A and B are shown apart, each in its own frame.
Chain A
């Protein structure tokens, strides 16, 4: 089954404690992205990657890092989480051939 898998689904952490949210896709897609979703603001892109070792900032990259060492994986790293990073996070992947992006189930992060 074609899918994008994020882990964990839920995470509560404390300010300053480094964390990583993993994302993996099994569709051999070149493009991958991370979004955060906040009430009234829709989804905003954090980082995106057009291929292995190629990453670029989205609209709200501050406080986040990503890496793309393998085509299937695109982890999101919060080196020093802060409460304003409490949000619902989505990973997505897509092919250059079309516009359809496939989203994961989401990771709800709470930073206290």
Chain B
């Protein structure tokens, strides 16, 4: 019979455009929200975090926005480059310590030349 795989949501952008990757979270008690980037064949790599009492944080070419009212997190990448192609995960850190992370299911970002 036919097999159906589980596909990641995919975002395709042109090189040089801005990318916006979205994430919904569930735990209002999380104290930090974090974005990770995972390139093919590698482990996740930390990009940026935001504390739960903040709305916005900027890094180098990246901005994270947190909307606690609707439990929504977004990662904006400015001037997207081919090296940005990867799977992006949002994660919430539980307030109980130990850096216990709960990850989202991920979004595949494809940068088209």
Residues of chain A at the chain B interface (Cβ within 8 Å)? 4, 31, 33, 35, 39-45, 48-50, 56, 58-59, 90, 92, 94, 96, 98-106
Contacts and interface: CB of A to CB of B under 8 A. Distances in A.
A40 B6 contact: yes
Contacts of A106: 41-43
B16 to A, nearest CB: 29
Given A31-B98, A105-B42, A99 B32 contact: yes
Given A40-B8, A42-B89, A42-B105, A101 B98 contact: no
Contacts, number: 68
Contacts of B8: 40
Contact of B49 (A40, A50, A58, A99): A99
Kindly state the interface size class of chain B when it binds its partner. 20 to 34
Contacts of B102: 45, 59
Interface of B: 5-8, 32, 34, 41-46, 49, 89, 93, 97-106
B103 to A, nearest CB: 4
Report, nearest first, the 3 A-B pairs whose CB atoms are least far apart.
A40-B6, A103-B43, A100-B46
B99 A96 contact: yes
Interface of A is mostly: strand
Nearest to B45: A103
B97 A50 contact: yes
B103 A42 contact: yes
Given A31-B99, A33-B99, A39 B5 contact: yes
Nearest to A106: B43
A4 B45 CA distance: 12
A48 B103 CA distance: 15
